[in-house]
Amino acid sequence: MNDFDLLLQRVRSAAAESENLRDPVALQRLDAAEQQLGFRLHPLLAALYTTVGNGGFGPRDALFELCDAALSDSMETALGNYTLASADHSDPVLSWPAGVLPILDWGCGMLACVDCRSADGTVLLFEPNALDGEDASTVWFVDSPSLAEWLRTWLDRRGWYEDDQMDETSDMRLWPEAANRLG
């Protein structure tokens, strides 16, 4: 058993405690969602959706469903959020980087997102309230250098969103690739 398998085992165990946990996504539905998105999910994220559940676990038991049964653009799903966010906007401030999938709504417009183009699945915080003028790159922060580390932080209750850690968001650095990745 490798680190990846051990992490998935820990996540499955924690997710089993969630009242919001949904059944895992079938591989055919994962493939259909990836086709609609236009990119493949990071392998760990795909494994979460296909072996743990279709959302309803993770921080605040609130990971988005990947997609609903109809593969619609419902705002309750990661697919729907990405579809809306990446729509062609005339306002450059509203541009969205390709391959960055929203996975969790923190509230107040903030989203946790996985950069599916990065090798480690960098977890980003989209924080629109941090907008500085019209520079859209100022709203993208690195929450965790990898999805695996983000999950471990959640499992160990060390996340910035924990009651005793709420001031930790100020330590996040801007996502260095934001300016180059924004449309």
CATH code for the domain in which residue 169 is found: 3.40.1580.10
**What pTM value is reported for the model?**
0.93
**Domain count across the chain:** 1
Q: What is the pLDDT of residue 91?
A: 65
- pLDDT number for residue 89: 64
Can you list the residues of the chain whose pLDDT is less than 70?
1-2, 73, 88-94, 164-170, 183
Expressed as residue numbers, the domain containing 154 is: 3-181
Look at residue 170 in the predicted model and tell me its pLDDT. Answer: 57
pLDDT attached to residue 64: 97
Give a three-class secondary structure readout of the chain: CCHHHHHHHHHHHHHCCCCCCCCCCCHHHHHHHHHHHCCCCCHHHHHHHHHHCCCCCCHHHCCCECCCCCCCCCCCEHHHHHHHHCCCCCCHHHCCCCCEEEEEEEECCEEEEEECCCCCCCEEEECHHHCECCEHHHHEEEEECCHHHHHHHHHCCCCCCCHHHHHHHHHCEECCCHHHHCC
Task: Say what the pLDDT of residue 72 is.
Answer: 74
